[in-house]
Homo-oligomer: A and B are copies of this chain.
Amino acid sequence: MPTPIPERTDRELPLAVLLLETGAIVQEALRAALAGSWLRPRHCQVLLHVAQTGSATQHDLIDAMAVDASVLVGLLNDLESEGLVQRLRDPGDRRRHIVSLSERGSEEQAALRKRIGVMEDALLTDLSAGDRRHARRVLQAIWGRAHS
């Protein structure tokens, strides 16, 4: 039996537009949560992505974060000059940089997670733990589809 077509009324906003706007809401909330720190949402994103993979080449980050190469360079310059990440040449291919978190970067990343957690809890108050798990699955499916 084929999956029934999801109902769409003529009036309600398409899911895509809702996703777009929710993304903007979260970005704004993240910016607010980062107030007082010099970190901007993009910096935060880099730290979390590097933490997720342990270490990554800049090319890996460009792909995962959907950011332009030239933008990433600037973000890493900021993070490196503040001692949060380090760039090491890959001995196997000296064109590549291996990006990893410094000890301070790991601490900062952990602190960041707490701040983001508080922000999330305020934004997701109406959602149960099950809702959040489900939401994660959905978002990861979209993410995966876009990166395939």
Contact = CB atoms under 8 A, between A and B. Distances in A.
Contact of A26 (B23, B26, B44): B23
Given A22-B143, A132-B6, A146-B25, A14 B48 contact: yes
Contacts of A35: none
User: Copy number of this protein in the oligomer?
Assistant: 2
Given A26-B23, A141-B127, A133 B48 contact: no
Residue among A119, A144, A145 with the highest chain B CB neighbour number at 10 A: A145
Residue among A22, A65, A116 with the highest chain B CB neighbour number at 10 A: A22
Contacts of A132: 6, 15
A71 interface: no
Given A16-B30, A20-B45, A22-B23, 19 more contacts: A3-B128, A3-B129, A6-B133, A8-B113, A11-B51, A11-B52, A15-B135, A16-B116, A17-B45, A17-B116, A18-B136, A21-B45, A24-B66, A25-B66, A25-B143, A26-B142, A123-B146, A126-B144, A131-B138
Interface of A: 3-6, 8, 10-30, 41, 44-45, 48-49, 51-52, 65-66, 110, 113, 116-117, 119-120, 122-129, 131-146
